[in-house]
A and B are shown apart, each in its own frame.
Chain A
């Protein structure tokens, strides 16, 4: 679907005005940041205007000694990280396309990488937010302090709302000190269950890695644990972690570690998956092995090639990449596969797929139990359905 117009407002007020204008004319608007996650969600019901935030950039306030940062929504993640790095600080999240992804987009999609396991997501770092509404108003919530209960927590409401309630124009974060050192311990296993058992041992230990992943490579399962902190401590924990793995372990230190993870995270980029379907599924950690085994069996049954599997054992989540062309037969088989997994998982989201795969389904899977509350929220914030209509869960 192609928008008939692109607007590039320069100020929050201009964003709001553009929205109000669209609302008045009954147009559909898609806010666009770096365009790295445009694949996410259902095809919108209506798309007339692409509202680009590329001109809404820059650090609005940064107080390194306070560890707080306010930044315009269109700012590129890499640019922000560069400024923070000068002061030895960071927003500790994993972004596959840091040069393209924008702060606003990261908040709206709530996409989070492996370090979500140990360090959380932007949800935990967001201390304030400003958004533009289809009424033409700009509003804020939260503030520039690290602890705040004044008024409702709209930060968390907008986080992950995929631009369906309002358009994020700026955000305030508490930032973190850059880890002084890091190591990654890796070991390879013949079976998924072997790798998951090792991961369980690490989870139950005092190692407490920032990230703990299991990925399928060349028919084997690679476990990787990323440990951050003071150098002596990291080295000590790295040894303890190796002992827990019960397999030949290798250790990557400092730059090598960071580089390995950058590559791993890049593979999760939605923008780079040119073909096939990317699916994310979730269940409680202890059922993950069982669910994944079933998913693999079913994939074989349905002749769907599983090209990559990234598993986050501590989060009960996995990212699956399925190859194949978008022909009718494949689409049908994929839909069958998805259908049979829906009941086994807590959620199963089609993250990226050619539009043929998205037809006739809600890519977000089962409708949320509280869909009507969510609809009421949409009705309150965007009564004329200007913003990404139909793109979000349950067709919101």
Chain B
């Protein structure tokens, strides 16, 4: 079918107001939230904004018949290029499927469409005393569908778990255009855990059209502490001590001096300007317990060298302390036109050494790097400051990134804690995974999407097309046994 006929068919499926195909319309679907230079932009053939799962399914069937790639898209805040149509095809943007269909207070679940905005789900259930626990910093914009696809996390995931721990079931459109339910209200149903496999699959296995999510009761009491440390080492040490003492705070975040220098003058959160690093520690739970835990955390921090620990239990005071953390990216935006945010994870005990290495890399490449991150689970967010319009800056950033990622992998870490691989980090996958590892992942992909039409060019290294998966597996076997090779 030629392009015009495809557009016409699409319009018949979703109505003329739901299809975009003029060049200028497509222009604004060539990016997502990722950093220029780290992810190439690419233009889709058409964009559709369906309003029902049936429409999604019909579009998928049409695309399958035409052999066109399909790329699901939420709010497009992804940081790894997941929603960019790398090899063209149809972008299915789910922003018009944004209703909260049901809130079941008794069973503590909500049924939502994928385009519902993360924060708005929490706002909707807050009056009943609940919240949706995964809280990415982008929560005011990103969608539940995107959260599911990326298995997103946030500061409070230390205690409450990441997205996958809060998804009970999904309605998905499969690459053959069928609409199916996986999981459901009742846990423990027989069969493979397809829900678990779909969460974090970056839109490569199915398109989420409904999500059944768990609602978490709001904690009765919350206390936030700001611990001031002379250096990063002692702050990292405190992290290990707190975790080691069997305390799981609701959040445990670290900010280094460069971050404080950027944040404090702008937001007056009361961070000590001369601190080597500060920890922002939140404990929550029942009132009687929170006070005791907070006191214990305070003791531990002082023991390992904290100069001061400020304790805030009033809402306004807590919010002020958090404001600095939440606005950290914003403050960076004011230090330099661009920043590249990394997302590697290292074992918590490797934090001091890794942060030292980050500093060295900054020096080697002449970059300013600020650290503001989820220390409690070792999820680093080094922010490399640059100006994409300055010649050579992007190249330097990419080289420095490579060094950084290599180091994190060497100390037993991983490429990404919450932002996903997408196209951005697919080139690094072989640092962590062997051909066999990738072949197993490709096995999962293949069983859902044998033609490789769902969100191609993501996660797997370049040139790793799904049709070749079996060949690769054989090759892996041959490597192993030698004998099969000729």
Query: Do A and B touch directly, given a CB cutoff of 8 Å in the complex?
Result: yes
Chain A residues close to B by CB (< 8 Å):
13, 16, 20, 63-68, 88-89, 110, 112, 116, 120, 123-124, 131, 133, 135-141, 143-157, 159-161, 165-166, 177-178, 180, 206, 208, 229-230, 232-233, 236-237, 280, 282-286, 315-317, 346-347, 349, 364-365, 368-371, 373-374, 376-377, 379-381, 392-394
The verdict on B448 contacting chain A, using a C-beta distance below 8 Å, is yes
Q: What CA separation (Å) do A159 and B199 show in the bound complex? A: 14
Interface pairs (9), CB distance under 8 Å: A123-B193, A139-B437, A143-B413, A208-B217, A316-B185, A346-B189, A370-B180, A373-B448, A376-B448
Is B313 on the interface with A (CB-CB < 8 A)? no
| Chain B: interface residue total (CB-CB under 8 A) | 89
Contact B415 A150 (CB under 8 A): yes
Tell whether, in the assembled complex, residue B190 and residue A153 are in contact, meaning their CB atoms are under 8 Å apart.
Answer: no
Is B191 an interface residue, CB under 8 A from the partner? Answer: yes
Which of the segments B253-261, B266-274, B288-296 contacts the partner chain?
B288-296
Residues of A within 8 A of B486 (CB): none
B347 pairs with A63, CB closer than 8 A: yes
- Which of A20, A136, A154 contacts B440, CB < 8 Å? A154
State whether A233 touches B157 (Cβ < 8 A). Answer: no
Q: For the complex formed, measure the closest distance between the CB of B322 and the CB atoms of chain A, giving whole angstroms.
A: 20
Bound Cα distance A295, B388 (Å): 67
7 closest Cβ pairs, A-B complex: A156-B196, A177-B246, A368-B191, A376-B447, A364-B190, A346-B186, A393-B190
Cβ–Cβ < 8 Å partners of A131 in chain B: 440
List residues of chain A with CB within 8 A of the CB of B293.
230
Q: Which of B190, B245, B288, B429 contacts A151 (CB 8 A)?
A: B429
Specify the chain A residue showing the minimal Cβ separation from B191.
A368
Report the bound CA distance from A298 to B433 in whole Å. 53
Interface assignment of B151: CB less than 8 Å from any CB of chain A: yes
Q: Is the beta-carbon distance between A286 and B106 smaller than 8 angstroms?
A: yes
Shortest distance from the beta carbon of A346 to any chain B beta carbon, whole Å: 4
Q: Which residue of B lies closest to A347 (CB)?
A: B189
Provide the residues of chain B in CB contact with A116, threshold 8 Å.
187
* Complex-state Cα separation, A349 to B191, whole angstroms: 11
> Do A147 and B436 have beta carbons less than 8 Å apart?
no
Q: In residues 149-196 of chain B, which contact A (Cβ within 8 Å)?
A: 150-151, 153, 157, 161-162, 164-165, 174, 180-182, 184-196
Minimal Cβ-Cβ distance residue in B for A155? B196
Which residue of A has the minimal Cβ distance to B290? A233
Is there contact, CB below 8 Å, between B196 and A159?
Answer: yes
A380-B444 in contact (CB<8A)? yes
Q: In the complex the two chains form, what is the Cα distance from A260 to B370 in whole Å?
A: 52
Given contacts A145-B346, A233-B286, A380-B447, contact A150 B429 (CB under 8 A): yes
- The segment out of B43-51, B116-124, B416-424 that lies at the interface is B416-424
**What's the least CB distance linking B255 to chain A, in Å?**
19
Cβ of B446 < 8 Å from any Cβ of A? yes
Interface contact B477-A150, CB-CB below 8 Å = no
CB 8 Å contact bits of B404-438 with A (1 = contact, 0 = none): 00000000111111111100010001001110111
Given A141-B441, A145-B412, verify A284-B194 contact (CB < 8 Å).
Answer: no
Residue of A nearest to B425 (CB): A150
Given contacts A140-B437, A145-B346, A347-B190, 4 further A-B contacts (CB under 8 A): A157-B444, A284-B186, A373-B194, A393-B190
Question: Contacts A147-B345, A233-B292, A381-B443 hold; do A152 and B194 have CB atoms under 8 A apart?
Answer: no
Q: Does B463 contact A (CB under 8 A)?
A: no
Taking A160-B192, A178-B246, A377-B444 as contacts, is the C-beta distance between A152 and B432 under 8 angstroms?
Answer: no
Q: B220 an interface residue at 8 Å Cβ cutoff?
A: yes
- A66:B432 contact, CB within 8 angstroms: no
Task: Collect the chain A residues with CB atoms within 8 Å of residue B9's CB.
Answer: none
CB atoms of A156 and B164 under 8 A apart: yes
> What distance in Å separates the Cβ of B454 from its nearest Cβ neighbour in chain A?
13
The minimal Cβ–Cβ distance linking B174 to chain A, given in whole angstroms, is 7
- The residue in A66, A120, A316, A376 that gathers the most chain B C-beta atoms within 10 A of its C-beta is A66
B435 to chain A, nearest CB (A): 9
Q: How far is the CA of A166 from the CA of B347 in the complex (A)?
A: 28
Determine if B347 and A68 form an interchain contact, defined as CB atoms under 8 angstroms apart: yes
A381: B residues at CB distance < 8 A: 440, 443, 447
Q: How far is the CB of A65 from chain B (nearest CB, A)?
A: 5
Contact of A143 among B186, B289, B412 (CB under 8 A): B412
CA distance A82 to B257 in the complex (A): 42
B58: A residues at CB distance < 8 A: none
Pairwise interchain contact B191-A370, C-beta atoms closer than 8 A: yes
Q: Which of A135, A149, A371 makes the CB contact (< 8 A) with B418?
A: A149
Q: Is the CB of A159 within 8 A of B377?
A: no
CB-CB under 8 A from A394, the residues of chain B are 191
| Closest residue on chain B to residue A148 by CB atoms | B414
Highest count of chain B CB atoms <10 Å: which of A148, A232, A393: A148
Which residues of B sit under 8 angstroms from A380, Cβ to Cβ?
A: 443-444, 446-447
Interface residues of B in 237-287 (CB under 8 A from A): 240, 243-248, 286
Q: In the complex, what residues of B have CB within 8 A of residue A141's CB?
A: 437, 440-441
In the complex, the answer to whether A67 meets B243 with C-beta atoms within 8 Å is yes
Tell me the complex Cα distance, A43–B89, Å: 46
Q: Which residues of the other chain, A, contact B441 by a CB distance below 8 angstroms?
A: 141, 151-152, 154
A157 engages B193 (CB within 8 Å): yes
Q: Is the CB of B192 within 8 A of A285?
A: no
Contact of A282 among B186, B418, B440 (CB under 8 A): B186
In the bound complex, do residue B192 and residue A377 qualify as a contact, i.e. CB atoms below 8 Å apart?
A: yes
Q: Which residues, 375 to 392 on B, are CB-close (under 8 Å) to A?
A: 377-379
Contacts of A236 in B (CB 8 A): 286, 288
* Distance between B171 CB and nearest chain A CB, rounded to angstroms: 11
Q: Determine the chain A residues whose CB is within 8 A of the CB of B443 once the complex forms.
A: 377, 380-381
B445 contacts which chain A residues (CB < 8 A)? 152
B residues less than 8 Å from A376 (CB atoms):
446-448, 450
Which residues from A are CB-within-8-Å of B247? 177
* B243 and A65 form a contact (CB under 8 A): yes
Interface hub of A165, A379, A380 (most chain B Cβ within 10 A): A380
B27 to chain A, nearest CB (A): 30
Instruction: Look across to chain A and name the residue whose beta carbon is closest to the beta carbon of B187.
Output: A315
Report the minimal beta-carbon distance from A391 to chain B, rounded to whole angstroms: 12
- Listed residue (A88, A112, A230, A236) with the most chain B CB atoms within 10 angstroms of its CB: A230
Complex CA–CA separation, A178 to B374 (angstroms): 23
Which single member of B181, B348, B474 contacts A65 (CB below 8 Å)? B348
Determine whether the beta carbon of A66 is less than 8 Å from that of B348.
yes
Q: Closest Cβ of chain A: how far from B439's Cβ, in Å? A: 7
Residue from A112, A148, A374 in contact with B345 in the complex, judged by beta carbons closer than 8 Å: A148
Beta-carbon nearest neighbor of B343 in chain A: A149
Question: In whole Å, how far is B93's beta carbon from the nearest beta carbon of chain A?
Answer: 22
- Say yes or no: A137 contacts B477, CB within 8 Å: yes
Q: How far is the CB of A201 from chain B (nearest CB, A)?
A: 12
Check: B473 CB closer than 8 A to any chain A CB.
yes
Q: Across the interface, do A136 and B481 meet the contact criterion of CB distance under 8 Å?
A: yes
> In the bound complex, what is the Cα–Cα distance between A13 and B193 (angstroms)?
26
Answer whether residue B334 sits at the interface, using C-beta atoms and an 8 A cutoff: no
Evaluate contact between A149 and B417: CB separation under 8 angstroms.
yes
Q: Tell me if B292 and A285 are in contact (CB < 8 A).
A: no
Pairwise interchain contact B289-A233, C-beta atoms closer than 8 A: yes
A371 to B181 CA separation, bound complex (whole angstroms): 11
A30 CA / B293 CA spacing, docked (Å): 48
